[in-house]
Amino acid sequence: MKVKKYIASTMPEAMNQVKKELGESAVILDSREIKTSRFFGLFGKRNIEVLAAVDPKPTRIRQSSREKKQTANDSVMPTKLPMHLQKSESSREKVSTRLSLSNRYPHPVESTLEQLQQNGIDEDTRAHVLQILLSTFYKHDEKVTESELLNVTKEFFKHEMASSIESTEGHSKFIYLLGPTGVGKTTTIAKLAADAKMKHAKDIAFITLDTYRIAAIEQLKTYAKILDIPIEVAYNAEDLEAAKEKFKDKDLIYIDTAGRNYMNSEYINQLKEIAQFKEQDKLMCVLSLTAKEEDMETIYQQFSKLPVDTVIFTKADETSTYGQIYNLWKKHHFAIHTLTIGQDVPNDLLTVDAEVLAQLMVGEKSW
């Protein structure tokens, strides 16, 4: 692997130098703004320093037709410029965000990327992580192990997802759980209520709007009896308001909504009419990690028509990949409340932090 440093007045000028000398298959390992001084430190000039690399004898790896087409169109560009460089470049000088993946990279780098791919991390994120890994690898004279690169990758996800963790302060009194059929809303409500009551001594009540399935009502009533929590069934907006009034002295009121095919906007509108959501209400979207990522995306987009800003991921023990959590979060930047596993109330409710999420993204943690 040939590595060389370039200094130029602008990023496009540096890119032209890299392309001219190293060719189209070069990758950018690092870029930063530097200041060169003249006349005893006076009259300094700001330049761009770029660290680029190329394999003199690249080995081709198998690509999809989409990747082949993209590789043919891409020029040598970094995946992401530092913020100070982004601000200094004009709109005409913005660089491509896709990194060429046509070369075979050092084994520790490739192994880490393969792990991310197997875990379902999207292609653009893998390309960005690739630049970070290559920069780390060559800055340390190629003396970096796969384990160390995995830690670097974990720190990337930890930093990325630090803002995804929902604050435990300022929770609303009325908490709605929304989601399609079969994601485990009713069991999740029982877990949340049991946790709030047993661990935090909260006074709880249940309301269910899921009147389409008798079994769902009976299931929540069973949990209510076991946990000694009062429950009301609301068939319309008037019933819901009456139930809220009845439980006005409670600390938290969990509201179970009907599990429907929410790919149909009609059901979203029906829910909106019955619930008549208030600004202070908390709406949580419940998604199953066993669902296809495309379906999760469609469902969340449907629920985004409502004031939903928090997600609970269920069935974390029934999947071996967790990259879809990051992929979906990257698009919508919602808060992540909890993950759930199994049917045990309340023990199978998992509070997550950035460290746990990062471990899931790199494949270090599973159930």
- 183, 145 contact by CB (below 8 A): no
List of the chain residues with pLDDT < 70: 1, 35-44, 55-103, 167-171, 262
Could you give the C-alpha distances from 39 to 33, 48, 361, in angstroms and in order?
Answer: 20, 20, 51
**DSSP class of residue 292?**
-
Q: What is the pLDDT of residue 167?
A: 61
Chain Cα centroid distance, residue 278: 27
Q: What is the pTM of this model?
A: 0.74
Could you give the C-alpha distances from 342 to 187, 191, 212, 221, 367, in angstroms and in order?
Answer: 10, 11, 25, 20, 10
- 253, 244 contact by CB (below 8 A): yes
Look at residue 48 and give its three-state secondary structure: strand
Q: What is the pLDDT of residue 355?
A: 94
Strand 204-208 and strand 252-256: the pairing is parallel
Q: Which two tokens stand for residue 296?
A: 């999760």
Question: Rounded to an integer, what distance in angstroms lies between the CA atom of residue 259 and that of residue 257?
Answer: 7
Q: What is the pLDDT of residue 62?
A: 44
Q: At which residue do the structure tokens 């680029």 appear? A: 52
212: alpha, beta or left, given left = phi > 0 and alpha = psi -120 to 50? alpha
Residues 6+ apart with CB under 8 A from 126: 113, 116, 117
Structural domains of the chain ordered from first start: 1-104 (no CATH), 163-361 (3.40.50.300)
Q: What is the pLDDT of residue 17?
A: 87
pLDDT tens, residue by residue, 320-336: 999 999 999 999 999 99
Position 226: which residue type? Answer: I
- 330, 296 contact by CB (below 8 A): no
Look at residue 331 and give its three-state secondary structure: helix
pLDDT tens, residue by residue, 47-90: 888 888 876 654 444 444 444 444 444 433 333 434 433 433 33
Question: Rounded to an integer, what distance in angstroms lies between the CA atom of residue 96 and that of residue 103?
Answer: 18
Q: What is the pLDDT of residue 16?
A: 85
Kindly report the backbone phi and psi dihedral angles of residue 67, in degrees, each rounded to the nearest multiple of 5, phi listed first.
Answer: -65, -35
Q: At which residue do the structure tokens 């340390």 appear? A: 140
How large is the greatest C-alpha to C-alpha distance in the chain, in angstroms?
A: 84
In our burial notation (b when 16+ CB lie closer than 10 A, e otherwise), range 107-140 reads ebbeebbebbeebbbbbebbbbbbbbbbbbbbee
